[in-house]
Amino acid sequence: MLVVRRSFAACFSRPTCRFNHSSPHRLLNSVTEYDVAHFAKILPTSSILSTYSPSSTPPEELDQFNSDWMGKYKGHSTTVLKPKTTQQVSEIVKWCNQRRIGIVPQGGNTGLVGGSVPVTDEVILSLANMNAVRSFDPVSGILVADAGCILQSLTDYVAPHNHIMPIDLGAKGSCHIGGNVATNAGGLRLLRYGSLHGTVLGLEVVLPDGTILDQLTTLRKDNTGYDLKQLFIGAEGTLGVVTGVSILTPPAPQASNNVILALPSFDNIRPLYEIVKRQLSEILSAFEFIDRTAYDLAVKHGQGRALSDDDVAGAECFVLVETSGGRREHDEEKLADLLESLLEADKRLINTGVLSQSPAQFSSLWALREGVTEAISKEGKAYKYDISVPLSTFKMVVDGTREHLRSKGLIGDKAVKHVIGYGHVGDGNLHLNVVADSYTPEIQNALEPYIYEVVASHRGSISAEHGIGSMKTHALHYSKSEASIALMKKIKELFDPRGIMNPGKVLEY
Amino acid sequence: MLVVRRSFAACFSRPTCRFNHSSPHRLLNSVTEYDVAHFAKILPTSSILSTYSPSSTPPEELDQFNSDWMGKYKGHSTTVLKPKTTQQVSEIVKWCNQRRIGIVPQGGNTGLVGGSVPVTDEVILSLANMNAVRSFDPVSGILVADAGCILQSLTDYVAPHNHIMPIDLGAKGSCHIGGNVATNAGGLRLLRYGSLHGTVLGLEVVLPDGTILDQLTTLRKDNTGYDLKQLFIGAEGTLGVVTGVSILTPPAPQASNNVILALPSFDNIRPLYEIVKRQLSEILSAFEFIDRTAYDLAVKHGQGRALSDDDVAGAECFVLVETSGGRREHDEEKLADLLESLLEADKRLINTGVLSQSPAQFSSLWALREGVTEAISKEGKAYKYDISVPLSTFKMVVDGTREHLRSKGLIGDKAVKHVIGYGHVGDGNLHLNVVADSYTPEIQNALEPYIYEVVASHRGSISAEHGIGSMKTHALHYSKSEASIALMKKIKELFDPRGIMNPGKVLEY
């Protein structure tokens, strides 16, 4: 397809061109009818949703693309493009670069920091139609897939070959593998299989000038120069559009077991983690923390029927331990021995331990942990912070935040109802959730920069998993040094000198 | 310490300035007495080895720094600097950048591609004196260490805490962790613990302008922008000097077992690998391939007493399987069951399997695989290629190379004596070694670009582990696309506009 080149200057004669007021250093242009007419040469009409002709889509049909699932971020894009091939992505990006039109790559739009929603009226480039598996080798376990493949569908694809995806997260039914890579998604399997920086073997990326960077290798080892693909993992689409992913899928465990432990004191978690790591060793696949408030909320909203009132009496917090291994009887023996040694120890670290005895019980225990998110959403509006801090400070950070809000007079039925903590102990990742009656500037201002300062004081991360998006660009300096931010900006400038790729995300304008 | 700034132009008045003929696009300057006098303000005299005063070291004392351990690469540096602190590294680098003097960061100097040896007379920056452990947390297993720590010493350091280093390689007694990171070393544990891109959590790097980039985080999860540290992993010191490493050390397995399997045909390896992966699952820690020629050489030079002549009769190749797990009896049961099922199968994939029964036998089996390198060095001069190609082509590549050399009349006692293959099946990584009476241009020209072309035809990697160094810069295009190389060059230019960091490595001038 021929891309007609027009000089950038020509744009200024068009009435719809505008100065983007939220980006003083950038001159980004709005999409015009002229652009949509060009996109119609690249894509079939059915793959274009635009308020402009020839598409003339009613604006409300764009709503789901213009806002995130929490309803927290809203963009005003007039145009959603759904390419089917990498070549089409390349042509769209090349055009937008020439015309200096901002692009927001969008996967499953399940993010939590506004990363996949336009800041103003950028073009939305949905990868949803790029959803084919390109290849899978059952011997090596290497899967190559389009970026728009839904995580769950890939899990289902490799399952008959006795493999699993190395990541798993709550949004698996809608999130895309490309989005997982772009946001460096962590999730529930990180403890066992490591981060995407290790499991992603190759990427195909369309650079901001339209160049297709083919690094879609299926090699486990390749030491031939800079590992460029790593830059795109976690760049949230600001350096290019991920269109294809090569990823190492591990062999499926033959058995999974879990146990929930009720602890009388948070301080027991550290010694408990040491013991569990030593005894379960390579079959340990999750070690999740749930504080009492989170637990009670989950139960209130229909989760957690696994434990009786007696079981939870006097528990300050809970730990969910999961094992995944190659032989059920070996794993069960290890887990039973662990539980026995914990219950018989002179210095008891746990009050109770409940071992799942069936697949239904296994799911029921997990529901306690995974159901927290749903329970929170039923309780009210959540301010969600996912932070990395030292394990020993988890409780202090949650309690400290509650006290801070109390001192501001913000605890109460009409303000903040709950301050809760849960998360991945093995990864040092605490999900701190503040549940309020509604989103208000008072609460927001009481929480930020307070929480970021607490994180910085522990040399932690203000975003362990969720990324920066548009939510935390102003707070980046709490986790990154000046030299690091300066270097990030240089890299952004090198890759995207016209500033079109997901503008306003990760780095401030 | 005050760094005296001098304008670059001043340099041209000095007689020792020279145009570097091997680098037409760069103007690098030689070290002068003036520079050494400056280095003496940064470092104590005992940390400077220079043929210039005030050091006035005899040139032969620099030989070990100027050449690699194989004696294949030779530089002509006049000056070796051994800083003790990151601040000293920063001051040295800043000076060299202003004076446009090339720097070769040197760790244990155990590389195989000339990456740590000067191309001409660059300053050698030895990290050997930066050898302190900065911190270790036995609960999380996170170790922070100076770049100059020797891998074995770190292994010893974490051992009492029941942890191991996530990498292990033949050179562990001399290689540095900083060099491991800079070269993205793979080694024997990659199958189990993944690559350094996943296990390295943070780096401290001195950039080519002297800026200290502190990304020495101890967080397992940190999604706050571009993961810059990844660029330095495998950059072979061309983008900056790694001075500190934060790395995740896994819990030590409680038991390790191994078995050697003799196979009647190479074609059996693929189905064998599938069965072994399924049955051993998470305890599989190595699956190593040794061809018959490699095996015979190892035995000839005193390795491999573990197997009898009967055991190896009719074997075309061998596979060494290792398990590492949390409970010996479970692991032994899994391994014994595997062996039994292999020996009783209707379609036999193996002739024999020998299971180690003691630590001595365990070492003896490993010696077969690890002893190949030593055996080769006793046989003659080795042309070493470590390539990634599809597993199914391993034998074809080795046989094809032998036939190619034969067709050139280069097989014989006074030319090429052996062409052998061994390597990491689980990683798709073949070590192809051509053992000759001596290094000759005829053999060299027969091997290259022949081998690189074979690799490219399989979309493989011309360097799975060893890196590019100065050996393979001209061959990079066999594994990397034009767009990738162009982007690498842009990044090099961005980080190191004056071209001082390890010049002539990874990228051609």
Question: End of a domain among B352, B372, B392?
Answer: B372
Compute the count of residue pairs across chains A and B with CB atoms less than 8 Å apart.
Answer: 268
d(CA B492, CA B502): 11
How confident is the model at residue A22, as a pLDDT?
45
| Least-confidence region, from A279-288, A384-393, B4-13 | B4-13
d(CA B96, CA B240): 13
A241 falls within a domain: yes
d(CA A228, CA B506): 14
B140 falls within a domain: yes
Angle made by CA atoms A156, A162, A168, in degrees to the nearest 5: 50
How confident is the model at residue B72, as a pLDDT?
87
- Whether residue B225 sits in one domain with residue B285: no
Instruction: List pLDDT tens digits, range B458-497.
Output: 999 999 999 999 999 999 999 999 999 999 999 999 999 9
Across the interface, whether the CB atoms of B197 and A230 are under 8 A apart is answered yes
Across the interface, whether the CB atoms of A190 and B220 are under 8 A apart is answered yes
- Whether residue A226 sits in one domain with residue A138: yes
B106 falls within a domain: no
Who among B223, B472, B487 is closest to A183 (CB)?
A: B223
Do A418 and A293 touch, CB atoms closer than 8 A? yes
- Whether residue B385 sits in one domain with residue B414: yes
> Residue B296: which domain range?
253-372
Helix (H/G/I), strand (E/B), else coil: B392: helix
Helix (H/G/I), strand (E/B), else coil: B301: coil
B contact test, residue of A221, A287, A341 with most B CBs within 10 A: A221
Do B39 and B79 touch, CB atoms closer than 8 A? yes
- Which residues of chain B make contact with A225, given a CB cutoff of 8 A? 234-235, 468, 476, 480, 484-485, 488, 506-507
**Burial tier of A389 (Cβ tally within 10 Å: 0-12, 13-18, 19+):** buried
Return the CATH number at A451.
3.30.70.2740
Across the interface, whether the CB atoms of B222 and A388 are under 8 A apart is answered yes
d(CA B317, CA B264): 7
Who among B139, B218, B428 is closest to A221 (CB)?
A: B428
d(CA B197, CA B218): 15
B493 falls within a domain: no
B183: closest chain A residue by CA: A223
**Helix, strand, coil distribution of chain B in percent, nearest 5:** 40, 20, 40
Give Cβ neighbours of residue B105 (< 8 Å, ≥ 6 apart): B116, B125, B127, B178, B182, B237, B241, B242, B501, B502
Nearest-Cα distance to chain B for A468, in Å, is 6
How confident is the model at residue A25, as a pLDDT?
44
Inter-axis angle of helices B33-42 and B86-99, nearest 10:
160
pLDDT lower than 70: segments of chain B:
1-26, 304-305
Who among A198, A465, A491 is closest to B195 (CB)?
A: A198
| Least-confidence region, from A134-138, A184-188, B224-228, B257-261 | A184-188
- Which residues of chain B make contact with A465, given a CB cutoff of 8 A? 221, 223
Q: What is the 3-state secondary structure (H, E, C) of B181-240?
A: HHCCCCCCCHHHHCCHHHHEEEEEEECCCCCEEEECCCCCCCCCCCCCHHHHCCCCCCCC
Residues in chain B: 509
Instruction: List pLDDT tens digits, range A102-113.
Output: 999 999 999 999
Angle made by CA atoms A234, A237, A242, in degrees to the nearest 5: 90
- Which residues of chain B make contact with A384, given a CB cutoff of 8 A? none
Question: End of a domain among B248, B274, B304?
Answer: B248
Do A179 and A116 touch, CB atoms closer than 8 A? yes
Across the interface, whether the CB atoms of A282 and B211 are under 8 A apart is answered no
A122 falls within a domain: no
Across the interface, whether the CB atoms of A226 and B488 are under 8 A apart is answered yes
Who among A194, A326, A426 is closest to B283 (CB)?
A: A326
Question: End of a domain among A222, A248, A274?
Answer: A248
Across the interface, whether the CB atoms of B230 and A197 are under 8 A apart is answered yes
Cis peptide before A105 (omega within 30 of 0): no
- Whether residue A242 sits in one domain with residue A139: yes
Residues in chain A: 509
- Whether residue B281 sits in one domain with residue B241: no
Nearest-Cα distance to chain A for B341, in Å, is 16
Instruction: List pLDDT tens digits, range B293-342.
Output: 999 999 999 876 678 888 899 999 999 999 999 999 999 999 999 999 99
- Which residues of chain A make contact with B230, given a CB cutoff of 8 A? 197, 227, 230-231, 233
Nearest-Cα distance to chain B for A139, in Å, is 6
Return the CATH number at A366.
3.30.70.2190
A163: closest chain B residue by CA: B278
User: CA–CA distance from A59 to each of A18, A115, A127 (Å)?
Assistant: 20, 21, 20
Do A307 and A365 touch, CB atoms closer than 8 A? no
pLDDT band, residue A218 (cuts 50/70/90):
confident
d(CA A245, CA B427): 18
Nearest-Cα distance to chain A for B494, in Å, is 8
- Whether residue B335 sits in one domain with residue B306: yes
Give Cβ neighbours of residue B367 (< 8 Å, ≥ 6 apart): B298, B303, B304, B306
- Whether residue B400 sits in one domain with residue B355: no
Is the dihedral angle over the CA atoms B434, B439, B440, B445 positive or is it negative? positive
Nearest one of A352, A378, A384 to A365, comparing CA atoms: A352
Nearest one of A240, A1, A231, A237 to A97, comparing CA atoms: A240
Give Cβ neighbours of residue B307 (< 8 Å, ≥ 6 apart): B260, B262, B352, B354, B368
Across the interface, whether the CB atoms of B222 and A277 are under 8 A apart is answered no
- Whether residue A180 sits in one domain with residue A209: yes
- Whether residue A265 sits in one domain with residue A155: no
- Which residues of chain A make contact with B277, given a CB cutoff of 8 A? 251
Who among A235, A281, A334 is closest to B226 (CB)?
A: A235
Quick check: ipTM above 0.85?
Answer: yes
* Token output for B10: 């001043």
Who among A224, A234, A424 is closest to B468 (CB)?
A: A224
Nearest-Cα distance to chain A for B356, in Å, is 22
- Which residues of chain A make contact with B506, given a CB cutoff of 8 A? 225-226
- Which residues of chain B make contact with A219, given a CB cutoff of 8 A? 388, 428, 460-461, 464
d(CA B181, CA B196): 7
A479: closest chain B residue by CA: B224
For B419, phi then psi, to 5°, come to -120, 115
Greater model confidence, A97 or A363: A97
User: Across the strands, what pairs with A205?
Assistant: A213, A242
Helix (H/G/I), strand (E/B), else coil: A354: strand
Single-letter amino acid, residue B26: R
Alpha helices in A261-327 (DSSP H): 269-280, 292-300, 309-312
How confident is the model at residue A62, as a pLDDT?
97
- Which residues of chain A make contact with B224, given a CB cutoff of 8 A? 461-463, 467-468, 472, 476, 479-480
- Which residues of chain B make contact with A195, given a CB cutoff of 8 A? 198, 220-221
d(CA B420, CA B248): 35
Who among B221, B270, B426 is closest to A465 (CB)?
A: B221
- Which residues of chain B make contact with A180, given a CB cutoff of 8 A? none
C-beta atoms surrounding B423 within 10 Å: 28
A48 falls within a domain: no
d(CA B12, CA B1): 26
Instruction: List pLDDT tens digits, range A363-378.
Output: 999 988 888 988 999 9
Return the CATH number at A148.
3.30.465.10
Across the interface, whether the CB atoms of A220 and B326 are under 8 A apart is answered no
Angle made by CA atoms B397, B398, B399, in degrees to the nearest 5: 95
Across the interface, whether the CB atoms of A223 and B461 are under 8 A apart is answered yes
d(CA B317, CA B261): 9
Nearest-Cα distance to chain A for B167, in Å, is 14
Angle made by CA atoms A219, A161, A153, in degrees to the nearest 5: 85
Domain count for chain A: 3
How many whole angstroms from its chain centre is CA B480? Answer: 19
Give Cβ neighbours of residue A110 (< 8 Å, ≥ 6 apart): A69, A171, A174, A175, A179
Q: Which helix (H) or strand (E) holds B94?
A: helix B86-99
Nearest-Cα distance to chain B for A236, in Å, is 8
Do B93 and B210 touch, CB atoms closer than 8 A? yes
B472: closest chain A residue by CA: A224
B contact test, residue of A226, A229, A461 with most B CBs within 10 A: A226
- Whether residue B271 sits in one domain with residue B223: no
A427: closest chain B residue by CA: B220
pLDDT band, residue A69 (cuts 50/70/90):
confident
Q: What is the largest CA-CA distance in chain B?
A: 81
Residue A448 has pLDDT above 50, yes or no: yes
Q: Tell me what the pLDDT averaged over chain A comes to.
A: 92
Mean pLDDT of A445-454: 96
B484 falls within a domain: no
A contact test, residue of B188, B222, B280, B505 with most A CBs within 10 A: B222
pLDDT band, residue A304 (cuts 50/70/90):
low
- Which residues of chain B make contact with A279, given a CB cutoff of 8 A? 326
Greater model confidence, A317 or B190: A317
Between strands B123-126 and B103-106, the pairing is parallel
- Which residues of chain A make contact with B217, given a CB cutoff of 8 A? 459, 461
A29 falls within a domain: no
**Burial tier of B365 (Cβ tally within 10 Å: 0-12, 13-18, 19+):** buried
Between strands A416-424 and B79-81, the pairing is unpaired
- Which residues of chain A make contact with B213, given a CB cutoff of 8 A? 481, 483-484, 487
Do A431 and A80 touch, CB atoms closer than 8 A? no
Who among A220, A391, A487 is closest to B213 (CB)?
A: A487
Walk across the sheet containing A284-291 and list its strands.
A352-355, A255-263, A317-325, A284-291, A416-424, A429-436, A381-388
* Token output for B461: 């990697």
- Whether residue B393 sits in one domain with residue B282: no
How confident is the model at residue A26, as a pLDDT?
58
How confident is the model at residue A382, as a pLDDT?
93
- Whether residue A299 sits in one domain with residue A220: no
Do A180 and A213 touch, CB atoms closer than 8 A? no
Nearest-Cα distance to chain A for B257, in Å, is 15
* Token output for A153: 């569908």
